[in-house]
Every structure is written in structure tokens, then in C-alpha cells.
A and B are shown apart, each in its own frame.
Chain A
Amino acid sequence: MLNVSDYRVSYGQSEIVHGLNFSVKPNEIVAVMGRNGMGKTTLMKSLIGVIPSSGGQISLDGKNVTPLKSYQRVEQGMSYVPQGRMIFSSMTVRENIETGLTTTGRRTVPKDLYDLFPVLLDMRNRRGGNLSGGQQQQLAIARALASDPKLLMLDEPTEGIQPSIIKEIAQTLKDIRDHRGLTIVVTEQVLSFALDVADRILVVEKGQVVHEEARATVDAQKVASYLSV
């Protein structure tokens, strides 16, 4: 469903992602792993279109989305949960989710989103900035799901979050994949989370895929050796 071919991203003269190739099947959860500075976040940012790519192509369901701006990519069914959550801190929880409704034309937050994250219903009139890190992460995911995406991309969703909530998030991700037929790409450093949630693991090093394996056959030690310095 998602095809990334010979994909390149640069900041000015320095190229970070060098001709990356990978594809994601419908209804699959893929974890992109790699050490710091290997281009994971850069890749994610450029997949949603907040930083431009310098070469290659992204296609979603066979449609080339490379020339589209980020809001048009959201219209096409991509959605994005950034590293560090990036919720709108002075807006209420409800308003934050409503920003995600823009492309759907709906006015009110669908009930099933609150069912997924009951804590957000309790907090719906609080300002987003006053939520804890774990709650903000759930809010960021709810906001991304509000646009009815086909593909959900999460950038290090476990960063700075307590283990019990990490487990909850992993469970939620699997649930929404099963119930909504979503495809999910998630970047991760925590191997246990990736093994828990993903069907397939890609290891990225210096802007290229160096290792790729299905979860069923994955050799945790080998992946771990890529992640350790």
C-alpha cells in the first residue's frame, strides 16, 4: 500500500536519507528501528511532507503523493504522530482532536475515539499543554486518527513515557489495526515495544535499510546488535 523507492532527503547540502527503498503491505505494522541520527525522524517528517524530499518517490495505494503538500497527503489518507507529540498546547483536548477533523468535514469528535482513549473524554475541556506526557501522546494519536487515515505514522511514540502506558499504546495500536484495517509505520528505539507491536522490523542505518525481517522469524539479538553503539 505504501511504496517508497530510491528516496532521498537532504538538509541543504548534507544528505540524510540515501536512496531508501521499502514497502508496506495493507494492514501491516512495520517498525523502523535504528540508532539516533540514522534518519528515522527525518524520514517520517518527509513522508508526511513537512520537510521536502530531494529525490525518489512515495506512492500510496499506487498514487504518487511525492508532489503533494502535507495537508493534501492527509487528505489522501496519511496521518502523522510526531516525535515529542507536538499537540497544540493552548487549545483544549477537544479542540486538538477537532483540528484533525479538518479533512473529513465532520464537526464533532466521533465517539469511538473517546472509547479508544477514555482519559481524553474526562479531560476534554482541559488545555492540551496541561496534560501529562502519556496523555499528550494519546491525544496526538487521537488527533491523527480523527482524519480517518489509511496509514498511520508514529515517530517514537514511547519516548519519555512510563512502561505501563507503553504497553497500553502497543495494545491500542494493534486494536486499531484490527478494527479499522489501518496500516501502521512506527519508528522505535525500544526493541521490546517493536517486537510487541510490529509484524515486520526494518533497521535503518546511515539513511539506508540494512536489515529487514518478519517478527515471526526475528533474531532479537541481531536487531539489538544494530541498536547498540
Chain B
Amino acid sequence: MFSDYSTSELMSIFAMQGFAGLTLFSVFVLMALGLAIIFGQMGVINMAHGEFMILGAYITYLTSNIFSQWLPGLYGSYFFVAMIFAFIAAGLLGMLVEWLIIRHLYHRPLDTLLATWGVSLILQQTYRSVFGAREVGVSMPDWMMGSYPLTDLVEVPINGIFVMCLAIGTTCVIAALMYRSRWGIQVRAVVQNRTMAGAVGINTQKVDRMTFGLGCGIAGIAGSAFTMIGSIGPTSGQLYIVDTFLVVVFGGAASLLGTVASAFTISQAQSTMEFFLSGSMAKVLTLLFVVGVLMIRPQGLFTLKVRR
């Protein structure tokens, strides 16, 4: 399959597919970060994570419409406003879902799967009723259009670079929150031992709600970023949820670094193979690889060295 291309062409293909992989990686990271907090830390199997992402995407769509209608002069900066709205909306919905459903199920992790799957169906139908079944797209502001030529053959799209910066920035903020702030210490204490955390003076219910809200809020940001690279429909979230769980499990559930590393591996493998093979073949190979690694290391790529 490589014989049809010259060496320099092959290099360019690898570079461009590599970059496309990086864009996919960024969306994976954003999606998986939220899930790493909710599933990896709290142990809640959140099947509705994709729908929280799509909520963020629809909020971005609405904001872009509002800006193009009422504030066309400021259209270039709508995305930043949209991102904040997406974070707040998805976060608030997450806190509502936690309050209504999840908090009753912390002792029954498998039941969270069913409950959140129900939430996901409800949300999908809500989107269908409100926004219609057709996919909608967002027009990007001018400065995000086009691409930046590196060489004659290699061009990197600007929106890709932007999404990547967004992913890196969000990861750093989350890492700082979890490992450097007092709030992060409380979150980690609660997820390790909810009863004991209460007995040392932590308001566990509040921490749980904020944590779940944060995870969903990050999914909202992921949705915002998603509008840069694809169109949005009521069921778009479904396409990504399996990949996202794959990333979190493969990376090792309790480790943020593992999540980033595994998102990188999976997205690069997928994107490079997709160019040469069919999409489904690429998926099969990725899955086989992940299954193989998980058989050898069931705890995922990265784990903490600690006595149990």
C-alpha cells in the first residue's frame, strides 16, 4: 500500500495525517478528561457524557447565531463566549442530573450505567425536538479559516491548531485544580473513601455535585471544540462515547497523564491507519491493540504505585 507514493509524499502524508490525528486527539482529550473525572475518579459510568458534549455544541451553535444576528462586528470572538456558556450550561445540567439521579447511586455503580443511558436517550430526544433531526453546522470566524503551510506538501489547518491549544490549556487547568488546589484534595479524598472524607470534615455531597458538574462542564467545552471540526446532530455524541471510554480505560482510570497518553496513542493510530486502510479496518486494528494491551496490563497504561 505504500508503493504508490514517493518517499517525500509518504512523509507528508504521515505529517498531515499525524496532524489530523492531533486534532482528533484534542477532542478525545477534552471528552476523556471529563469522563476521567466522572468515571475514573467517581466511578460513575456516565453514558450521557456524549450528550453533555452535544449540549455544549448546540450552545456554541446558538451563540454563533446570536452573534451573527445581533453582534456581527464581534463575530470573530464569539467562540470564547460560546465556550464559557457551553461550560456553564453543561456543568449546570450535570449538577442537576447528579442531584436528581446520580447521588442515590454511588453505592451501585452498575446502575449508573442504566440511569445515565436513560438520561442520554431523554437528552437526544430533547435535542431532536428543539433543534430538529438535521445536523447543523457552525460557520467559523475568518481568523480560524484556512491553513498554515509548513512546506509545499504539508499544510496544517488553523482550526486544528486552535482546538489543540484549547485541549492543552484545559488539561493544564484541570491538572492544577486536581493536584494543586484545596478543592482537588477534597475531591480526591471523597472519591477514595466517601465516608471517611465526611468524617474528616469534608462536605461530601457538595464536593460530589461540583465534581460531576466540572466533568460535564468539560464535556461542554469539548462540544464547543467539536463544532470546529464537524457538524452537530442529536446523536453525534453517541459516535464518540465508546472511543472516550476506551481512552479512559486504556489510560488507567485514576490517572490524568494516562488519559492524555492513551488519547494520543489511539487517535494517532486511528488517523494514520485510516488514510491507508478503510475506516472500519483502522478501528478493528485499534481495538485489537487496546484489547491486547489490556490483557497484559488490566489496570491500564498508568497506575499509582501504592499498597492496596
Contact = CB atoms under 8 A, between A and B. Distances in A.
User: Do A and B come from the same complex?
Assistant: yes
Nearest to B303: A90
Given A71-B204, A100-B201, A91 B189 contact: yes
Contacts of A49: 198-199
B51 to A, nearest CB: 31
Given A90-B254, A107-B182, A129 B201 contact: no
A211 interface: no
A69 B182 CA distance: 21
A95 to B, nearest CB: 5
Interface residues of A, number: 31
A99 B308 contact: no
A32 interface: no
Nearest to A95: B185
Given A107-B182, A129-B307, A130-B307, A91 B201 contact: no
Contact of B306 (A89, A99, A147): A89
A73 to B, nearest CB: 8
B201 A71 contact: yes
Contacts of B199: 48-50, 70-71, 74, 80, 82
A55 to B, nearest CB: 22
A10 interface: no
B202 A99 contact: yes
B307 A71 contact: no
A194 B195 CA distance: 27
A212 interface: no
Interface of B: 182, 185-186, 188-189, 192-193, 195-204, 254, 304-308
Given A82-B199, A99-B186, 10 more contacts: A71-B201, A74-B200, A74-B201, A80-B199, A80-B200, A86-B193, A88-B196, A98-B182, A102-B202, A127-B305
